[in-house]
Structures are given as structure tokens and as C-alpha cells.
Amino acid sequence: MHAITVREPGGPDVMSWQKVADPTPGPGEVIIDIAATAVNRADLLQRQGHYPPPPGASSILGLECSGTISSVGAAISLDRIGEKVTALLSGGGYAQRVAVPIGQVMSVPPGIGLIEAAALPEVACTVWSNLDMIANLSEGEWLLVHGGGSGIGTTAIQIGRALGARVAVTAGSAEKLERCSHLGAEVLINYHEQDFVQVMLDETGGRGANVILDNMGAQYLGRNVTALARDGRLLVIGLQGGVKAELDLSTLLRKNASVTATSLRGRPDSEKAAICAQVERNVWPWVHAGVVRPIIDRVLPLKDAAYAHTLLADGAVTGKVVLSNS
């Protein structure tokens, strides 16, 4: 088969389309002939040498895919061959085939095709596992989403609304904020021009956000805690603003608030399987109903992965970039 390979850590130019060995399914795994994958910021970090794959995972980039099961390993029914699926990966998506533990394989939500389905696994699993499984976001609560125009952000707006929350977002342009508004965000904060802490306190009568989904890390840590309501939950899922910061713990104590940092890729297979099962049970019906939909900025050939990385790095994307094998 062929795949996008990374010659050495560096810029987009270190990626190229090369012939590589075909994957073989281990016990409890299936092989998916990949129709499409999608670009995540973690892919850019891995290409730069900052985010190595977990032990045993493919070194090929790509954390999600859609396609067709073409072969199965031990303990998997042959009846699964030919099934159209989508999957959460630990690596290997920028290729023509990938081996995946069966617990991370999900059906394609009714009503959408394989191209759209490729944009869902990573964002749906990240958002659901944080907003519901950790934060227990409830009807009527305020959710603040940083990076509202990203793949995670556009999904979080929709799932937050589906859970009955009121949603505020930050983004860096009027165009991205307008897209967020169309998805259901009520409070639109341009982080170049406004202080999200003050806006949230003003909008909530001084109470603050009940849940904050944060992709920035250190840069926003103190301000995020200030913006939290009593019993608030700060969920750190990215480190785009750095890894080290000081925090006044007395603020957390006074608010009875919590800070949780999570990643998806390095979790044990059993945890990822549990998340995928919940997503298929709870989020896919919303996708079928049109309440949650994949937001795709553009679809490019997989061979153009370098260009896709440039677009994402430049902030020129709202939602996801999908890479197609067709």
C-alpha cells in the first residue's frame, strides 16, 4: 500500500507519498480500507517531532478514518468484512489501509457518507468524553469553548447545545465567529479585541462559565479559573499557549472548582472503546437527526496532506480538512 510518510521532524515538506508495508490484523483487530481521513492539530505536532505515537501504535500520521472493513483478526466475525465504518485511531490514518482494535470501530451515522464520516471520530470522542463523561455538562449551564472555529470547537458548540447548555466561544476573526453563531453559539468573543473573562462575567451576571473547554493551556490557565463559576469545571485539552503556568489555588478553593487535563490518543484501548461506544450510542443519533453535523472546510486528496497542514497552521480553516483516498 501507499501512505504519507515523514522523512524527519520538520515542516510540511518532510511529508511524501511512499510505498509502505501493508498492515496485518492482530487478535481483536480489523483492517479498514481507508476512504478518507481528517487532519488534526496533533498531526502537525507529530510531524514536527513533538508528539510521538504511543507504544505499539503506527508511526504513520492520522488519528481517524472512514472506510470499509476488508479483513479481520482472530476473534472477530467474518461477517464484519464489507462493513462501512468510521474509526478512532492511535495512528495510521494517512494511508490506504490501517489496523484498528474493534472497540474503536464505529458505524457510519445514518444519513452521511464516508467523506463526512471521516471528520467525526476524533472530535466527537474528544468532546463527548470531556463535556459529558467528565464535566457532566447539564441543561442551562454555560459552556465556554476556546477556539470555536476549530474542528473541536465547532463540534463542542453543537454537542453543548444538544445537551441543553448555553454556549460562548472565542475565535480570532469575525468570519469564524459568524460560523459559530450559525452553529448555536450565543456569546461571540473575538480574542484579539475582547477579554473573555470580563465578557463571560458580564453575560452571566457575574457568575462565570460552568464549564470551559480549553485548547490553550498555560497562557489561559489563570484567566480561565477566574472565568469559572462556583463548582466550575475547566477541561484542558490542548497546549497551544504553552505548558507551564502558575495558578493561585485559593481561587479554585473558593469556587470549589476543578481543573482536568485530558488526551485521547494515549489512553488504554479499553477506555477508548468505552468512549467510542458512548459516542455511537449518544452522538450518532444527533448526527442522523442533523442536530450535530461534521463541519468540513474542504476536502483534499490525501497526497496533498502537506498543503492541508499549511492551511491548518495558518488558521485558514473553519472545522475540519478531510483527506480523501479517492
The region that residue 100 occupies, defined by phi over 0 for left and psi between -120 and 50 for alpha, beta otherwise, is beta
For 87, the grid coordinates are 474509526
Give the strand pairing for 29-38 and 209-214: unpaired
Sheet arrangement for strand 187-190:
187-190, 166-171, 142-145, 209-214, 228-236, 258-261
pLDDT digits (tens, 9 = 90+) for 114-134: 999 999 999 999 999 999 999
Q: Which of 178, 185, 216, 184 is nearest to 200 (CA)?
A: 185
CATH topology of domain 135-261: Rossmann fold (3.40.50)
Distance CA 101, CA 29 (A): 4
Cβ–Cβ < 8 Å for 88, 66: no
pLDDT digits (tens, 9 = 90+) for 3-18: 999 999 999 999 999 9
Task: Over range 70-98, report the average pLDDT.
Answer: 97
- The residue written with cell numbers 501504535 in the block is 57
Q: What is the DSSP letter of 187?
A: E
Q: Could you tell me the pLDDT band of residue 200, with boundaries at 50, 70 and 90?
A: very high
Task: Over range 298-311, report the average pLDDT.
Answer: 98
Distance CA 266, CA 249 (A): 28
Residue 226 pLDDT greater than 90, yes or no: yes
Strand, helix or coil for residue 15? strand
Strand, helix or coil for residue 173? coil
Task: Over range 26-50, report the average pLDDT.
Answer: 97
Q: Could you tell me the pLDDT band of residue 229, with boundaries at 50, 70 and 90?
A: very high
* pLDDT at 167 (0 to 100): 98
Task: Over range 232-243, report the average pLDDT.
Answer: 93
Contacting residues for 120 by C-beta, under 8 A, at least 6 apart: 64, 86, 109, 287, 294
pLDDT digits (tens, 9 = 90+) for 124-180: 999 999 999 999 999 999 999 999 999 999 999 999 999 999 999 999 999 999 999
Residue 79 pLDDT greater than 90, yes or no: yes
Residue 41 pLDDT greater than 90, yes or no: yes
* pLDDT at 12 (0 to 100): 98
> Max CA-CA distance within the chain?
59
Q: Average model confidence (pLDDT) for the chain?
A: 97
Q: What is the 3-state secondary structure (H, E, C) of 127-152?
A: HHHHHCCCCCCCCCCEEEECCCCEHH
% residues pLDDT > 90 (the chain): 96
Task: Over range 99-109, report the average pLDDT.
Answer: 98
Distance CA 151, CA 174 (A): 17
CATH 3.90.180.10 residue spans of the chain: 2-122+265-324
Distance CA 97, CA 289 (A): 30
Task: Over range 43-67, report the average pLDDT.
Answer: 96
CATH topology of domain 2-122+265-324: Quinone Oxidoreductase; Chain A, domain 1 (3.90.180)
Dihedral sign, CA of 223, 146, 152, 242? negative
* pLDDT at 62 (0 to 100): 98
Task: Over range 190-213, report the average pLDDT.
Answer: 98
Q: Could you tell me the pLDDT band of residue 326, with boundaries at 50, 70 and 90?
A: confident
CATH 3.40.50.720 residue spans of the chain: 135-261
